[in-house]
């Protein structure tokens, strides 16, 4: 074995589309559509606050996209909530921020958060942070299904859920959930459906996926369409035990920032084996990671397997996502910065290089 990089660390335990998209349930649904109600209140919904503007639904209702866009175009952040239990939120028409300064769009439901196909969330003016926060009350009623593209113009993207009733962390200055997106009966069967492109142009991307339901993927699910998550200089953080799916083509993850791969609940379901097939401009994994492809890893400023501490609790203390399971390096790794591995045991059976 030859370790060719002086910037390499090992940390042991002591320190160191599948075909399950989901079903229709009787959840109370908040729809955001082009046919919805306008104004500041309506049937089963109301608006409070100034920045963020909080739009709360208590039962089934339909709100026009123009309501959300109007606030975002003033540079005001918007938080959309469905407090019904179970209650889901469906984005059924595009949301476009076309004016104003930086803002945050938080979509928070007690059940599933579902962004429909072709109903994209886009900013062309100012950064737009996007938080898709499912299962807020931790009842296990649904996760995140992203089938429409997200383009943030420099904003961050967070996808996940809650591990406690109303629990939250802070990430990049944003209030986010304290747990993963999960699968559920009557909702998404895969823990997290990532069936679309995400482009952040420097913003970070974090996807946190837990367990699926009834044969769904225990992790991030792909529809096999070759979707691309491209963050530019922003980091990519995947907290998951799988990136799996159906059909022919993986999800491509592309960054010139730091790439993190961390298990949910501090241990992969089996030893993680870095054993990709090397293609022209990407590496393509196999097995339970068959739908994870990483473009140009030699351009990363860093690569970390088994640890992430970028989320904090209210007092500012980092929340450490770690790994107590095995990691094996079977194929060579070339990265542009520090390569760090956490796990137990760690087996290095190939070269590790820094460009």
* HSE-up (13 A, CA, CB side) for residue 294: 30
Q: Checking DSSP bridges between strand 121-123 and strand 198-199, what pairing results, if any?
A: unpaired
pLDDT confidence band for 315 (50 / 70 / 90): confident
Cα 228 to Cα 286: distance, rounded to the nearest angstrom:
18
Distance of alpha carbon 284 from the chain centroid? 20
Cα 215 to Cα 189: distance, rounded to the nearest angstrom:
7
SS (H, E, C) 190-235: CCEEECCCEECCCCCEEEEECCCCCCCCCCEEECCECCEEECCCCC
Cα 339 to Cα 69: distance, rounded to the nearest angstrom:
41
Average pLDDT over residues 265-285: 95
Average pLDDT over residues 219-227: 97
- Condensed to tens digits (0 to 9), the pLDDT of residues 17-49 reads 333 344 445 579 999 999 999 999 999 999 999
**Better-predicted residue by pLDDT, 1 or 268:** 268
pLDDT confidence band for 355 (50 / 70 / 90): confident
Q: What is the pTM of this model?
A: 0.94
- Condensed to tens digits (0 to 9), the pLDDT of residues 225-274 reads 999 999 999 999 999 999 999 898 999 999 999 999 999 999 999 999 99
Burial letters 43-62, b for 16+ CB under 10 A, else e? ebbebeeeebbbbbbbebbb
> Residue 244: how many CB atoms within 10 A of its CB?
24
Residue with tokens 């476009």: 96
Average pLDDT over residues 94-115: 98
């Amino acid at each position: 074995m030859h370790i060719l990089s002086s910037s390499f660390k090992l940390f042991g335990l002591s320190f160191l589309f599948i075909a399950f998209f989901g079903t229709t349930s009787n959840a109370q649904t908040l729809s955001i559509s082009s046919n919805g109600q306008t104004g500041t209140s309506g049937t089963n919904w109301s608006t409070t606050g100034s920045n963020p503007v909080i739009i709360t639904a208590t039962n089934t209702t339909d709100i026009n996209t123009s309501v959300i866009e109007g606030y975002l175009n003033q540079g005001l952040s918007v938080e959309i909530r469905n407090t019904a239990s179970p209650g889901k939120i469906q984005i059924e028409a595009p949301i476009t921020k076309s004016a104003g300064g930086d803002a945050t769009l938080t979509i928070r439901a007690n059940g599933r958060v579902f962004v429909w196909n072709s109903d994209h969330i886009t900013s062309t003016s100012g950064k737009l942070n996007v938080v898709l926060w499912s299962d807020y009350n931790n009842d296990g009623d649904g996760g995140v299904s992203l089938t429409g593209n997200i383009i943030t113009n420099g904003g961050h993207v967070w996808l996940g859920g809650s591990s406690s009733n109303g629990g939250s962390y802070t990430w990049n200055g944003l209030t986010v959930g304290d747990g993963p997106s999960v699968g559920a009966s009557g909702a998404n069967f895969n823990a997290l459906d990532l069936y679309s492109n995400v482009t952040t142009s420097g913003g970070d991307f974090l996807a946190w996926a837990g367990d699926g339901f009834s044969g769904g993927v225990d992790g991030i699910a792909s529809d096999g369409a070759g979707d691309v998550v491209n963050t530019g200089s922003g980091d990519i953080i995947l907290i998951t035990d799988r990136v799996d799916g159906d059909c022919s083509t993986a999800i491509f993850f592309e960054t010139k920032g730091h790439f993190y791969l961390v298990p949910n609940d501090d241990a992969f379901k089996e030893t993680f084996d870095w054993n990709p097939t090397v293609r022209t401009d990407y590496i393509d994994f196999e097995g339970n990671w068959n739908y994870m492809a990483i473009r140009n890893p030699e351009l990363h400023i860093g690569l970390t397997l088994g640890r992430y501490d970028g989320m904090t609790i209210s007092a500012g203390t980092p929340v450490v996502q770690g790994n107590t399971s095995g990691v094996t390096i079977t194929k060579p790794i070339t990265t542009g910065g520090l390569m760090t591995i956490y796990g137990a045991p760690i087996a290095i059976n190939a070269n590790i290089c820094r460009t």
